[in-house]
Structure 1
Amino acid sequence: MSCPWPPTSENVNVSEAQTVVSLALYNVVSWIIGATEEPTLDYYVNIADDLHLKVVSLCQDIVYLASKGRKQTPKSLTLGLTVRHLTGSTRIVSLLNRLGHCASWDTVLSLDTSLAQLTLVERDKIPKGFSKRAPTTLVWDNIDYGEETLSGRGTTHHTNGIMLQSLAIEPMSTAIRQPLRKRVSSFKAPPQMPIEPYHQSKRQGLQNLNQPLQAATCRMDTHFAAQAELAYVFVKSTFTDRCAIPSWTGFHTLLQCENALQKSALYYLPVIEASPTEMSTVNTILKRSVQIADQLELDHIVLVFDQAIYAKAQQIRWKNDGFMQRLVIRLGEFHTCMSYLSILGKRFGAAGLQDILIESEVVAPGSINGVINGHHLQSQHESS
């Protein structure tokens, strides 16, 4: 492999894996298994896609065995790293290595360590696939490992963030990164970034609520959506063959052009080693989000939280003019639906909605409170 160490996901896909397989080897293996009878050594023969993956995998094993493990292939590295993450077993990785399918345990451990070092080196840079001055969304939530202890204490409660961009407007320059040193199985973790204590004072609500709204602009933006929804309801209710009409999602997908949905760029942010239920952690999240916005040269950046973190984030944001100008905080779609269903339950629960759901056997009597409160998600899905 010609890429610098350590190889990343861009260097171990199928197209890159074929570059380590010579044309003659690929064609000979394809002839041996009967995938093709095309007699040529001028180009890679054409075979079925499912056979292509298997032939490339087999050819990588041959390259790895012929070099006695000195030439690493994408398969030998990724298979060993995957098995290590899934099982953590030295014996399984060593067994696959003896059969010639993956790299040795020491090589896999060195690769895992080098990838961690690469993450630390490039964590302050704009990730590849992202661009400046492009609309960006940050999603923050808790990340728990679910350990079980006798007292219930001592479990892991950290905070994880994800950065999203729908489409890169200005492609970033792809500078050649410097390779890291191989055969390194351990390294010293960097010091934890301090979390500044946040002392909560008297609660303060949102100020300046009397600002005029641009109703005409809102009507203009929602005019097409209202017409499309009305057309869907009309067609669905009057068309005799309902199977020919797509579902709600399929209907709106057909209204979009073919290239309307772009693949989003995704990047995992460094983990904050603190629980997001603490006000100090939430304050740290907001500060780091502003730093990311500055790095991307954005005036505003969108933050998405669940209900618990959303309430704390708004309390801090309403007291800070800098946060008010730079951060747009909203609930995720899932928690927005939960809040909406909870509103319906509070409004119509005592007006007969509970009796209707129970008598129609849509919801069991023991689950009706969860449905009315907007937290029993399975029953909500069945009732809808």
Structure 2
Amino acid sequence: MHLSFGVISSQAVWSIRFEILLTRHLYHSAQILQKSLKDSPHGAPSGLPTSEQLTAEVADSIIPWQLHNILAWLMQPTISALLVNSNKVELPVDIMVRLRSIAQDIMYTNHHGRIVTTKHVALGVSIYHLTKNVQVLTLLNRFGHSVSHSYICELETAVAQDVIEEHKVLPQNIDSQIYTTAVWDNNDLSEKTLSGRWTTHNTNGILIQRSGDNSMTRTSSNDSSQTPRQKRSGQRSLEQQPSTFVPYFLQKRQGPGKYSIEETKLAEDKSSQVTAERHDFAWLLLRQSLNDQSECQTGSSQVIPSWSGFNAAI
């Protein structure tokens, strides 16, 4: 029996060792990113976000610097000088928008959708109100780019419930001491649901005021306060609140009353009619005779007045 041993060159051995070392470095890098995502302060499930928490600044604050930097070096490999601010690489605005989007997708996928980011909530609500199509929103959610339709219904229900509980009649930037013009109109959303049911029928109002010092002060003071997150209740629709209506009894329609009109008949006096006929015939003869003479004499004018003037003269 003969045994044959293959000879491996030193270059092949070095290539295999390099691949093993590279794989080990990639694995350790992934573990570093995994730990940074778990140690993130927003890595645990939280309540429903508010409008103050759906900004680009908040999105940058929840992205770990390890994830930010690795994506920055991947998307901008030709960067000459690494400008680091708070341990994060600075990038142009257009590239930063894409980095922020990809980083939030990674965070959303890493936590299996148990936490929500600024992008997933803002994009989901925007697509839902622009397209009014549940299927498009479901497609984005399955690809990990947006929250689900159920979450958006829960979020909007919580906002509406908060307004009802706090009795917020006027928006924060409206002053009750200034003359206001109100305009109301129907604004049905008519969402494209799978069954055609559960669509939104609402009425929107617009309040118009002159901007002044009081309204600007109120707006700035209200914006400075941060609204805390609301706890998730799972409620997707509002319960109809009982309300008291003033009774209205429909009665028979009433129009204007009847008016009696007296019919006045002209006196049947033949003598007055005969006199009027004679006056008209005399006026006709005088006008006709003078018209015949004026055709023969150049420069002559009519001296008999018109019918109304003739009757007024006699």
Length-normalised TM-score, structure 1? 0.41
Structure whose CA Rg is larger? 2
* TM-score normalized with structure 2 length: 0.49
